[in-house]
Amino acid sequence: MADLLLTHGYFLFEDEKEREIMKPYAPLGLLYISAYLKRAGFDVETFDTTFADRDALVGRLAATPGGVVGVYTNLMTRANVLWVAEQAHRFGWTVVFGGPESANYPEDYLAGGADVVVVGEGEATLEALLPALRDRGPHRLHGVAGIVFRDEAGVLVYNEARDKIADIDSLPWPDREAIDMDRYVDTWRTHHGMGSVNLITARGCPYKCNWCSHAVFGYSHRRRDHVDCADEVEQIVERYRPEQVWYADDVFTISHKWLFEYTQEMKRRGLRIPFETISRADRMQKEEVLAQLAELGCYRIWIGSESGSQRILDAMQRGVKVEQVQHAAKLAKRYGIEVGMFLMWGYEGEELSDMEATVEHVKETNPDIFFTTVSYPIKNTGYYEKVKPRLIFSSDWANSSDRELRVAGRHSRQYYKHADSWLINEVAAHRLRDTDPAEAAAKSAAAAQARATMLACADEVEL
């Protein structure tokens, strides 16, 4: 039996929306852990739930009862991972949870089926935890840094935090061979014409946007050596033949020096693979940064734009100016890079005038694609603390998520649906104004209607 079975609770085929999107990515955290522990001599198996169904996972748990199962948790998979824990216990497994979500709710997860919650990076903690579990069981884990557990009296014990891995170049690359990577690449290729593989070139983000979760990497920022990253991409291309990659970093262009060195290294190797990634507008103000991105193969850059109102951006501690977003988008387009924008409605203090500023901002920036969300307070973030007195908690924690937390007094979901329609139509009208005035007028009318409907339900608030 393996020393550790790694899994997660994301079942692609259960999620109607994700089935439409069909852009699955491998669970990198688990693959990093697998590679690290294998190198340290552990026998590790990964059961990737992405393309699997629940019966198959139960079958795997039933096949070798009594082992240790490590489960990745994130904000969307709460109910699923609690179910995994329940199934694992049926067959005598010890359950270890890790990832951002259980780090935010260790007590609830321990009550809900975890034997141990790992807070922070999993590699070194599991290396210490697995022998401790074998020798001492799940209730005498004092001294193992980076975990929360219950002692024999049932008292919650928070061990000291574990230091972050100082040199992330010392880590082996993610153990992609542990899962069916070809299936990921094929799924992408079938649905989008291009196979895609994810990788990261850094860990953590030092910025303080106050709705963003820093549960795993804190405010650290550690970059990998550019040569090692190029080696990994070369290996990915040779082994999996994707048509593109996705750099899943928090802020890809955070270090300009690194970007230049990496671009040069890739150029030297004749390796130009299309990619998309996310960054901050303030780290894309220089023309040469966009030029490098284009040279490297960037075909779409995602910008967390959030709001067109500087007042709201400042309240979010975003550290970015509205004009910087517009400038970054302009530069990106100059270099033939598509612009994707993320926007957020309903942040604390947002007024109609702020929403109007957002609509104008999107018109002005004219991104190729944009998505909106209604802001949601992730536990342990500044935003969560700010609205905590007005949070309406679900009575069924196990079947809800932080995304569904409601803030008393805030406009209804319906209000923001109309806001979306207002924004989409207004932007469409703006785009069509020179080429198709009749259609532009129709879109304008639809925008006005959506705005009016939105205002008509302004008094309906979350209770």
In angstroms, what is the minimal distance from the CB of 211 to ligand SF4? 8
DSSP H stretches of helix in 241-334 = 256-268, 287-296, 310-315, 322-334
Is residue 207 a contact point for ligand B12 (CB under 6 A)? Answer: no
**Which one of 2, 132, 237, 248 is in contact with ligand B12 (CB under 6 A)?**
248
Strand duo 391-392 + 406-407: pairing:
antiparallel
Is residue 215 a contact point for ligand B12 (CB under 6 A)? Answer: yes
CA distance 31 to 69: 14
Residue 40 has what DSSP assignment? T
- Count of positions on this chain that bind ligand B12 (CB under 6 A): 35
**Which one of 75, 145, 157, 448 is in contact with ligand B12 (CB under 6 A)?**
75
Place of tokens 């007028």: 441
**Which one of 31, 37, 69, 205 is in contact with ligand SF4 (CB under 6 A)?**
205
In angstroms, what is the minimal distance from the CB of 59 to ligand SF4? 38
Residues 6+ apart with CB under 8 A from 40: 127
How many CB atoms lie under 10 A from the CB of residue 145?
Answer: 15
Is residue 70 a contact point for ligand B12 (CB under 6 A)? Answer: yes
Is residue 147 a contact point for ligand SF4 (CB under 6 A)? Answer: no
Is residue 250 a contact point for ligand SF4 (CB under 6 A)? Answer: yes
Stretch that binds ligand B12, among 121-129, 225-233, 260-268, 423-431 (CB under 6 A): 121-129
Which residues inside 259-298 make contact with ligand B12, applying CB under 6 A? none
Please, which residue, 12 or 440, has the CB nearer to ligand B12?
12
In angstroms, what is the minimal distance from the CB of 270 to ligand B12? 27
Is residue 75 a contact point for ligand SF4 (CB under 6 A)? Answer: no
Is residue 72 a contact point for ligand B12 (CB under 6 A)? Answer: yes
In angstroms, what is the minimal distance from the CB of 95 to ligand B12? 9
Tokens of 75: 């904000």
List phi, psi (to 5°) of 72: -80, 135
**Which one of 2, 40, 58, 76 is in contact with ligand B12 (CB under 6 A)?**
76
Contact 244, 287 (CB under 8 A): no
Is residue 251 a contact point for ligand SF4 (CB under 6 A)? Answer: yes
Is residue 345 a contact point for ligand B12 (CB under 6 A)? Answer: no
Please, which residue, 82 or 251, has the CB nearer to ligand SF4?
251
Is residue 207 a contact point for ligand SF4 (CB under 6 A)? Answer: yes
Is residue 112 a contact point for ligand SF4 (CB under 6 A)? Answer: no
In the list ligand B12, ligand SF4, none, the entry touching 273 (Cβ below 5 to 8 angstroms by class) is none
Which residues inside 170-199 make contact with ligand B12, applying CB under 6 A? 198
Nearest to 407 by CA among 385, 387, 384: 387
CA distance 70 to 9: 11
How does DSSP assign 73-129, residue by residue? Answer: --TT-HHHHHHHHHHHHHTT-EEEEESHHHHH-HHHHHHHT-SEEE-S-SHHHHHHH
Contact 237, 187 (CB under 8 A): no
Is residue 146 a contact point for ligand B12 (CB under 6 A)? Answer: no
**Which one of 9, 100, 112, 367 is in contact with ligand B12 (CB under 6 A)?**
100
How many CB atoms lie under 10 A from the CB of residue 261?
Answer: 17
CA dist list (Å): 78 to 69, 75, 100, 121, 355: 16, 6, 11, 19, 32
In angstroms, what is the minimal distance from the CB of 434 to ligand B12? 34
**Which one of 128, 157, 212, 440 is in contact with ligand B12 (CB under 6 A)?**
212
**Which one of 3, 5, 11, 32 is in contact with ligand B12 (CB under 6 A)?**
32
Q: Vertex 120, ends 161 and 54: CA angle to 5°?
A: 135
Write out the H or E segment, with its range, that includes residue 210.
Answer: none
CA distance 445 to 425: 8
Binding site for ligand B12 (CB under 6 A): 10, 25, 27-30, 32-33, 70-72, 74-76, 96, 98-101, 104, 118, 121-123, 126, 198, 200, 212-213, 215-216, 248, 250, 373, 378
Binding site for ligand SF4 (CB under 6 A): 205, 207, 209, 212, 250-251, 280, 304
